[in-house]
Amino acid sequence: MKKSISQNINILRDFSEIFTRSVVYSVLDGNFSDVNNKLKRYKNELPKSASLTYLKLYKYAYQLLETHYQNEYVFKNAFLTSWLIKEIGHTDSVVFNEFNASESIADLAMFNGMSRAFEIKTELDSPTRLQTQIEDYKKAFNEVYLIIHESNYHLYSKYKNDVGLIIFDPKRQNKFDFVKEPALNHNLDHKVLMQILNTQEYKDIVEIYFEELPQMNSFNQYDICFNLIKQIPIEELNVLFLEQIKKRKLEKTLSSHNYKELNQICLALKLNQNQKKCLINHLKQPVKF
């Protein structure tokens, strides 16, 4: 008996591929060959409509994934749409996709009066590296959160009390439930914060704190600045660090209403408003395969 589209894991994986950076980059250039190659073999299972556009196709694909294949894209996108957008809209917060910290990369990072790292573990993920990731995040972030699927609560409830825990349940209207708040962490690592900063940012911190920049050149500026930054008390350095990171603020393109299925990929690609409009206009073209 032939499996339905919602029961076939290979089909769902192909649908998830159209939300990847490389595919959406191509769409942004008006090239739909990657989307077509992924989905044309399933055209008999797609919605039957003479006016089927790529935008409708993306919305349909997202609904399938949200219900039957909660991968990392769905987790991130749902969290952005249902919680982070509200936080960003009412504060001076800035959010980044995949933020480097020490030897690990946080799935999402938010900076306002403090720094927060969000690590997402889907049903498809393993907790194998999680303890190492948490330790890395605690070197750079004031708060660390785990976002997990409700079916995997038993795997992650045992983690340290200083880590926040957020449960994702796609069947609920309010998809995310904060079940444990994180402890506030001030034990940050000077070296890791320095590694996150770009050259102008760490030079600005030195000049602000010490009220001058020492003589340096492009060969020794990192070492000179790091030796000075190590002298700044970590809580004061954290304030200066946050001020610099927040200057990287991206143009707001996220929405809780229009085209919300694309929030995560717009953030990942750092699209501005004009680029997002271009993407949407391309997606409004009729499907041709």
129-170 pLDDT, tens digit per residue, is 899 999 999 999 999 999 998 888 888 877 767 899 999 887
pLDDT mean over 211-225: 96
45-55 pLDDT, tens digit per residue, is 888 877 899 99
Tracing tokens 């990369």 back to the chain, one arrives at 105
- pLDDT, residue 1, reads 37
Nearest to 209 by CA among 198, 217, 201: 201
Tracing tokens 């190590």 back to the chain, one arrives at 230
Q: What is the DSSP string of 58-76?
A: HHHHHHHHHHH---HHHHH
Tracing tokens 């050149």 back to the chain, one arrives at 217
Nearest to 15 by CA among 63, 61, 66: 61
pLDDT mean over 109-114: 92
Q: What is the CA radius of gyration of the chain?
A: 21
User: Given its phi and psi angles, is residue 102 left (phi above 0), alpha (psi -120 to 50 degrees) or beta?
Assistant: left
- pLDDT, residue 6, reads 58
- pLDDT, residue 205, reads 98
Tracing tokens 């707001």 back to the chain, one arrives at 252
pLDDT bracket for residue 7 (50, 70, 90): low
pLDDT mean over 240-250: 93
pLDDT mean over 74-84: 89
For every residue of 90-107, which 3-state class applies, written as one string? CCCCEEEEEEEECCEEEE
264-279 pLDDT, tens digit per residue, is 999 999 999 999 999 9
- pLDDT, residue 151, reads 87
pLDDT mean over 210-237: 97
- pLDDT, residue 104, reads 96
Question: Which one-letter DSSP state was computed for residue 139?
Answer: T
pTM of the entire predicted model: 0.90
Rounded distance between C-alpha atoms, residue 71 and residue 272, angstroms: 25
Residue 203 contacts by C-beta under 8 Å, 6 or more apart in sequence?
A: 213, 221, 225
Nearest to 235 by CA among 105, 115, 155, 84: 115
Contact (Cβ atoms closer than 8 angstroms) between residue 166 and residue 147: yes
Rounded distance between C-alpha atoms, residue 259 and residue 129, angstroms: 34
- pLDDT, residue 238, reads 98
Look at residue 247 and tell me whether its pLDDT is greater than 90: yes
Average pLDDT across the chain, whole number: 91
Domains parsed from the chain with CATH numbers: 9-69+258-283 (no CATH), 73-180 (3.40.1350.10), 190-246 (no CATH)
- pLDDT, residue 2, reads 46
Percent of the chain with pLDDT over 70: 96
Rounded distance between C-alpha atoms, residue 120 and residue 146, angstroms: 6
- pLDDT, residue 21, reads 96
Look at residue 119 and tell me whether its pLDDT is greater than 90: yes
- Show the DSSP H helices in 175-272 as ranges: 190-196, 199-210, 221-229, 234-246, 263-268
Residue 104 contacts by C-beta under 8 Å, 6 or more apart in sequence?
A: 129, 132, 133, 136, 137
Encoded tokens for 66: 């949200």
pLDDT mean over 280-288: 95
